[in-house]
Amino acid sequence: MTKQSPARSEWPLVFGLELISRGKVRDTYRLAEKRLLVVATDGISIFDFVLNALVPMKGVILNAMNHFWLNYLAEFGFETHFIASGVDIDKYLPEELRDDKDLQSRAMVVEELDMAKWEFIFRICLTGSGLSAYKENGEVCGHKLPEGLQDGDELPYILDTPTTKAEEGHDEHASAELVRSAFPEATYRMINIVQIARAYAESKGIKLADTKFEGSKDKLGDEVLTPDSSRFWDMQEWSKSRESTDKRKAPASLDKELVRIWGKSQGINKLDPKDLGDVDKVHAMIVPEEIISQTTATYRYIFWRLTGRTIEQYLREIMLVDIPERAKKNVVIICGSATDLPVVKSVCDNSNTMHVISCHRNPEELAKFIKDISGFDIIIGVGGKALALPGIIDAWIHSLGKNIPVAGVALGEPESKALLAAQLSIEEIPGQPVIIDEMEGHAYTGPSGLKKLLERITYGELPPPKPRTEKSAQMYV
């Protein structure tokens, strides 16, 4: 069994129930009549190590995402272990555990299944461990693949690439033919589920790259199509990453990718999860708070993209959990010119803080403003022509170590050079750190674009921050 980190070990147990399993993320308790209570915690693991950290809201989002997909698949007639979630779990709990909002948000009552000893992994695109296996001999779990495939390429067909279930350490690839012969109907059923999920995700602008299922011969179990069991990419980002003819690389996945990047920088990916010394070394590491908060934002984002609701909306409206509504976001809008102000005021109300600060004419005032800024959830830079403002604001924010997202809104007459210049000034910043309308693939534009952005800030989720490549200045070259 994987050794738990101090943070994961200290996650409170559910009083009065028999704990039968404590996994990397989930705690499982026995209920009456072959039912289980599965609680999704905020624990996080990478490279088969449980980190000494918690990601706020992660377990709640995983539970709600699981609920969403299990109910969606039920519409197609697929049987799963699902029995109850949200307020309905109270029907199966002792009286003293009922009406617990946190438990209702992160727990699910399920049927206890006779689970297969393999994990059923299906790949739509080639990446991760599948890519590593392909580079060795051109095969993945017995599937012979065409030559020349690169990271992130779509496969000619959905691959079933099962693995063993390791109690500790890494799972190992298993023979697809062997597992398929033992579970032919289950494998076929799961491939159908992948096709359904793939089509649904693409309708939301999301690419499903691969996913993992567990279950019995008849029913799905465990978690289904969550960011912890699946790899999701933004469709626009994936399409852009396929444009190169050589050295293609998969886009960042919408899950705990930032934590993985941090883990690689610490050498965790080169350590052995079976070595207790290595385990203790990882448990002594402190995950930066900024990485943690950005990971929460990423989980919130993929949940919103796939379900169309924020996690608070889903809990309140679908799972009927009486939690508080999400706090209103504090927005500051900076115009590059006084001539932009009437356009902004035609869209905004008095609750939005507005300033006119030109990055060209008021560089010292802008620098001081950014240095002193606090209490805001997002900064919007608005203007026309060669709109350097959003990029300059973002550069200052990043250099000062502040964690405030920056969005840009381009103004100008339709089809004018001034408007095109403003749009390109936002869209073409290296690494694209400034928020654009990533689902449409262009900068927010005009009064309607500003309105759309403000509505998204209020009722939706912003895209997660992208990993940045630091580059040193080269003097006297």
> What is d(CA 388, CA 425) in angstroms, rounded to the nearest whole number?
6
- Taking each helix axis from N to C end, the angle separating 363-372 and 389-399, rounded to the nearest 10 degrees, works out to 50
Q: Please report the domains of the chain, with CATH numbers, ordered by start residue.
A: 331-459 (3.40.50.1970)
CB-based contacts of 176, cutoff 8 Å, min separation 6:
141, 142, 143, 159, 160, 161, 162
Residue 186, token pair as written in the block: 């289950």
Question: pLDDT digit string (tens) for 381-410?
Answer: 999 999 999 999 999 999 998 989 999 999
DSSP letter assigned to residue 331: E
Q: How many Cα atoms within 13 Å fall on the side-chain side of residue 186?
A: 23
Name the strand (E) or helix (H) holding 51.
strand 49-54
- Rounded-to-integer distance, Cα 149 and Cα 349, Å: 52
- Quick one: pLDDT at residue 145? 94
The residues, ordered by sequence, that sit 6+ positions from 178 with a Cβ below 8 Å of its Cβ are none
Q: How many residues does the chain have?
A: 477
The residues, ordered by sequence, that sit 6+ positions from 179 with a Cβ below 8 Å of its Cβ are 118, 120, 160, 162, 187
Per the model's pLDDT, the better-predicted residue between 355 and 169 turns out to be 355
* Percentage of the chain lying above the pLDDT 90 cut: 86
Q: Which tokens belong to 18?
A: 């028999």
Closest CA to 367 of 395, 406, 344, 340: 395
What pLDDT is attached to residue 96?
96
Tell me the longest C-alpha to C-alpha distance in the chain. Answer: 76
* 465 pLDDT tier (thresholds 50, 70, 90): confident
Tokens at 218, concatenated: 């008849």
H/E run at residue 121: strand 118-125
Is the CB of residue 69 less than 8 Å from the CB of residue 224? yes
Residue 105 CA neighbour count, 13 Å, CB half = 21
Over residues 154-181, mean pLDDT: 81
Supply the pLDDT for residue 166: 63
Q: Which distant-in-sequence residues (6+ apart) come within 8 Å of 432 by Cβ?
A: 466
Facing residues of 213 across strands? 120
Rounded mean pLDDT, 294-314: 97
Give the pLDDT confidence score for residue 1 in this predicted structure. Answer: 61
Instruction: Write out pLDDT tens, residues 310-337.
Output: 999 999 999 999 999 999 999 999 999 9
pTM for this prediction: 0.93
pLDDT tens for 206-251 read 999 999 999 999 999 999 999 999 999 999 999 999 998 888 999 9
Angle between helices 184-203 and 58-74 (to 10 degrees): 110
Distance CA 326, CA 324 (A): 6
The rounded distance, in Å, linking the Cα atoms of 119 and 343 is 55
Q: Is pLDDT of 84 > 70?
A: yes
* Mean pLDDT of the 10-35 span: 95
Q: Is 413 helix (H, G, I), strand (E, B) or coil?
A: coil
Q: Is the pLDDT score of 2 beyond 90?
A: no
